[in-house]
A and B are shown apart, each in its own frame.
Chain A
Amino acid sequence: MLTVFMTKAKAKIEHLGDSGVDIVESSGRLGVFLFNTLSRLWMYRFPLEETIKQLLFIGARTVPLILISGLFTGMVIALQFYDTLIRFGSVDLLGAAVAMSLIRELGPVMAALMVIARVGSATCAEIGIMRNEQQFDALDCMAIDSYHYVMLPRLLAAIVSVPLLTAMFDTFGIGGGYIVGVLIHGVSDGAFLVGMADTIVWNDVWMGIVKSFLFGLVIMSVCLSKGFYLHIEQKQSGAVGVSQATTQAVVLSAVLMLFVDYIVSSLML
C-alpha cells in the first residue's frame, strides 16, 4: 500500500518539472514570436492596407458589443455605488465613483474581455487552421513573410483598437451611470457631472490608456502565437488541436491580461 502510494507520489513529483518546462518553453516562444513580429516594423514597409482590413474586423465590428456591454456595466456599477453611497449620504459622489472605476479599471478590463471573446478566439482558430492547412508553409515558399503579412497587421490593429474600444466603453458606461443615477434615482445632474469632472485627473485617464494598450498587445500576441505554434504545442492535430489551442489562448490571454492589470495598477497608483 505504502509503496503504491510512494510510486504514485514519485511519478507526480517527477512530472512537476514537465509543466515547469512547458511554461518556460511557451513563454520563451511567446517572447520570440513578439520580437519577430515587431521586428518586421523596421525590416519591411508598413503593412497599411492589411492593418486597415484588420482594424475593420477587430475594431469596427466589435463596437456594438462594446457599446451594449459598456452601457450595462455602467448601469450596474451606478446602481451598486448608489446603494452604498446613499447609506453615507454622499450620493453626490456617484458620478466621480462611476467614472473613476470605469476609466481606471473596469473599462480596460471589460473591453479587453470583450475583445478576447469576440476577436481573440476567432483569430486563434483562424491562424491555427491556416497552420493545419499548410498555409504558412505556402507563404514561406512564396517568399512572403508570415510575420509581416499575417501577424503584424493583426497585432497593430489590436494595439490601436483596444484603447479606442475602451474609450467607447467608458463613455457609454458613464452614460449608463447617468441614466441610473440621474434619470432613475434622481441624483442632481450637476453634482453627477461636476463631481466627475473635478475628481478625474489626467493620471487616471493615462492609466486607462496604458492598460488598454498593453492589453491589446498581450491578447493579440497570445492568441496569434497559440495558433501559429499549433503544430509544436498541441499533442493532437486537426480540429481537436485547433479547439485546444483556442481554449488555451482565451484562458491564457485573460489571465495574463489580469496579471498585467495588477502590475500596471501597482506601478501607477
Chain B
Amino acid sequence: MTSSNKNIIEVNNLVTHYGDRQILNGIDFSVEKGEIRVIMGGSGSGKSTLLNHMLALLTPTSGSIVIDNVDVVNANRKTLLKLRQKMGVAFQGGALFSSMTVGENIKLPLQHHTKLDEHTIDIMTRLKLELMNLAGFEDLMPSELSGGMLKRAGLARAVIMDPKLLFFDEPSAGLDPVTAVELDELILKLRDAMNMTIIVVTHELESAFKIADRITVLFDGEIAITGTVDEIKNSKDVRIQNMINRRARDEHLDADEYIKRLTTGKN
C-alpha cells in the first residue's frame, strides 16, 4: 500500500450518528504527511464530530479511520495509547485541568510518558511556554488566564511531546486579530520546524487561507470540496462562494410558508 505511506490519515466512508440523528454521511478524507489541512464549514456541519472520531473519542456507525497505519476504530487500548502519544490535541477552550497550575498542566504528558528528570522537564516546559509567548505564567492557575492565553497554553500542552500529528480545534475563535495572526505564525512555525502534520478546524477564512496547504469544506455532514486555497477560491459551488464572500444563505422563502413556520413551528 503506497498510499498509506504517504497519507498519515485515511478516513473512508465514515458514517456517524448521535442517537438516531445521522451527522456524517459517508466521508472520505485523507491527509498527507507534513501537510497543514484546514477543515471549514458552517456551524453544525459536523467538523467537531469528524475531529472527535479521528481522535477515537467517539465510535462511528460504519466506515474506517486509519491514522499512522493504525485502524483506530478497532484498535485495542494499548495500540491506541501508543498512537496517542504521537498525537497532540489542542481543544477549543484549552481543556486545562483547573486544579493544577499552567506549568503543571503542560508538563503532565512528559511526567506520564517519559523518564526524564524534573529539571529537564522544567526546561522543556519553559521552552514551550516561551514559544507560546507565555513565559512567566507557569505558576498561575488556568482560571487566571484570558481566553487567548488558555488556548495558547492548551497548544503548549499539545506539542510538549513533539507529536507527529497535531489537531487544533478553532485556534482563532474569540481572539483579537493580533493574537490570531501570531497563532497562525506559530502553526506554520511548528510545521516547518518539527515537520508536524497539522489539522486545524476553523471558521476564520483569512487564517485558513494563510496557513492551509489544502482546505476541506464540510456542509451538512458531507464534504463539499477538498482543494488548495486557489481551488477553493475559484470553486463554482455556490455554497462555497457564499462562504468566501460572507453572504447569508439565501434560502428562497415563500411568504405563506414563512408565516406558517412562525405560527406553527412546523415546516
Q: Say yes or no: is A11 at the interface (Cβ < 8 Å to chain B).
A: no
A144–B95 CB distance below 8 A = no
Given A143-B81, A143-B84, A144-B108, answer yes or no on A138-B89 (Cβ-Cβ < 8 Å). Answer: yes
Inside 8 A of A129's CB, which chain B residues have their CB?
Answer: 98
B112–A143 CB distance below 8 A = yes
In the complex, per-residue mask of A127-144: 1 if CB is within 8 Å of any chain B CB, else 0: 001100111011011111
In the complex, per-residue mask of A117-130: 1 if CB is within 8 Å of any chain B CB, else 0: 00000000010011
B97–A142 CB distance below 8 A = no
A143–B113 CB distance below 8 A = yes
| Interchain CA distance A129-B55 in the complex, whole Å | 21
Given A133-B93, A134-B93, answer yes or no on A141-B87 (Cβ-Cβ < 8 Å). Answer: yes
A144–B55 CB distance below 8 A = no
Inside 8 A of B112's CB, which chain A residues have their CB?
Answer: 142-144, 149
| Interchain CA distance A66-B210 in the complex, whole Å | 61
| Interchain CA distance A173-B93 in the complex, whole Å | 48
In the complex, per-residue mask of B169-187: 1 if CB is within 8 Å of any chain A CB, else 0: 0000000000000000000
CB of A229 to closest CB in B, whole Å: 15
A135–B84 CB distance below 8 A = no
Q: Say yes or no: is B5 at the interface (Cβ < 8 Å to chain A).
A: no
**CB-contact partner of A141 in B55, B93, B96, under 8 A:** B55
**CB-contact partner of B97 in A130, A140, A141, A143, under 8 A:** A130
In the complex, per-residue mask of A9-26: 1 if CB is within 8 Å of any chain B CB, else 0: 000000000000000000
B113–A138 CB distance below 8 A = no
**CB-contact partner of A137 in B95, B98, B109, under 8 A:** B95
Inside 8 A of A137's CB, which chain B residues have their CB?
Answer: 52, 55, 57, 89, 91, 95
Inside 8 A of A138's CB, which chain B residues have their CB?
Answer: 89, 91, 95-96, 157
Given A142-B84, A143-B84, answer yes or no on A135-B97 (Cβ-Cβ < 8 Å). Answer: yes
Q: Say yes or no: is B4 at the interface (Cβ < 8 Å to chain A).
A: no
CB of B101 to closest CB in A, whole Å: 14
Inside 8 A of A143's CB, which chain B residues have their CB?
Answer: 80-82, 84-85, 109, 112-113
B93–A142 CB distance below 8 A = no
Question: Which residues of B, 157-202, contact A by the 8 Å Cβ criterion?
Answer: 157
Inside 8 A of A142's CB, which chain B residues have their CB?
Answer: 84, 89, 108-109, 112, 157
**CB-contact partner of B95 in A126, A135, A149, under 8 A:** A135
| Interchain CA distance A26-B56 in the complex, whole Å | 24
| Interchain CA distance A140-B77 in the complex, whole Å | 11
| Interchain CA distance A138-B56 in the complex, whole Å | 12
| Interchain CA distance A129-B143 in the complex, whole Å | 13
| Interchain CA distance A134-B98 in the complex, whole Å | 12
Inside 8 A of B88's CB, which chain A residues have their CB?
Answer: 141
Inside 8 A of B84's CB, which chain A residues have their CB?
Answer: 140-143
What are 10 A-B pairs at a CB distance below 8 A? A133-B98, A137-B95, A141-B57, A141-B87, A141-B88, A141-B89, A142-B157, A143-B82, A143-B84, A143-B113
Residues of A within 8 A of B (CB): 126, 129-130, 133-135, 137-138, 140-144, 149
Residues of B within 8 A of A (CB): 52, 55-57, 80-82, 84-85, 87-89, 91-93, 95-99, 108-109, 112-113, 157
- Pick the 10 closest A-B CB pairs, nearest first: A143-B84, A138-B95, A141-B89, A134-B95, A143-B81, A142-B109, A143-B85, A134-B91, A135-B95, A144-B112
Other A-B contacts than A137-B89, A138-B96, 6 sampled, CB-CB below 8 A, are A129-B98, A130-B98, A137-B52, A138-B157, A142-B108, A142-B109
